[in-house]
Amino acid sequence: MCGSRKLVLCTIAIVVLDQLSKLVVLRYLPGIVVINSRFAFSLGPSVSGVVIIVIILTLLALFLTKYYKKSKNLENILVVVVASGGLSNAVDRITQGGVVDFIRLGSFPVFNLADALISMGLIYLIIETLWPRQRKNSV
């Protein structure tokens, strides 16, 4: 099982790395930045302060649920990845007035590292939930 301290350190590392990537882009490539005040991929209405608080509390509840619940290592890691991405985007909403997006792939909406981690983590978590792998008992 992944230790709780490792999960907390992983969360901090993901948030710090995502925030650093955004700071670098804001400083050195400001022309490619989009400040997104809406939900994922610029969908929906602008996000208010109340919604930001709800997002942070939901992420905290998700993290604490996994923190106190004994579950598989992979599930813990995936929840940490998703929660960390959400937390980092919440930090943007508080400090920048919206999420700092800067990755462009063709006509796909602009996104950032946290968005990619959230999306990949959720997809993998859904796959693991619907079609769990058979794991050998480790000795």
What is the C-alpha to C-alpha distance for residues 62 and 90, in angstroms, rounded to an integer?
15
Task: Look over the chain and give the mean of its residue pLDDT values, rounded to a whole number.
Answer: 82
Active-site hit among 15, 86, 101, 110: 101
Q: Rg (Cα) of the chain, in Å, rounded? A: 16
Residue 26 placed within a domain: yes
- Band of residue 71 on the pLDDT scale cut at 50, 70, 90: low
Lowest mean pLDDT among 30-34, 37-41, 108-112, 132-136: 132-136
- Which structural domain, as residue segments, surrounds residue 34? 4-130
- Is-catalytic flag, 101? yes
CA atoms within 13 A on the CB side of 37: 7
Residue 80 placed within a domain: yes
Q: Mean pLDDT throughout 13-38?
A: 95
Domain count, the chain: 1
State pLDDT tens for residues 87-117: 999 899 889 989 999 999 998 889 999 999 9
- Band of residue 49 on the pLDDT scale cut at 50, 70, 90: low
98-101, Cβ contacts within 8 angstroms, sequence gap of 24 or more = 98/35, 98/36, 98/37, 98/38, 98/47, 99/35, 99/36, 99/37, 100/22, 100/25, 100/26, 100/33, 100/34, 100/35, 100/36, 101/33, 101/34, 101/35, 101/36, 101/42
Residue 70 placed within a domain: yes
Active-site hit among 14, 25, 100, 115: 115
Higher pLDDT, 51 or 91: 91
Residue 138 placed within a domain: no
What is the C-alpha to C-alpha distance for residues 66 and 8, in angstroms, rounded to an integer?
11
Whether residue 32 has pLDDT greater than 50:
yes
pTM: 0.77
Residue 137 placed within a domain: no
- Is-catalytic flag, 18? no
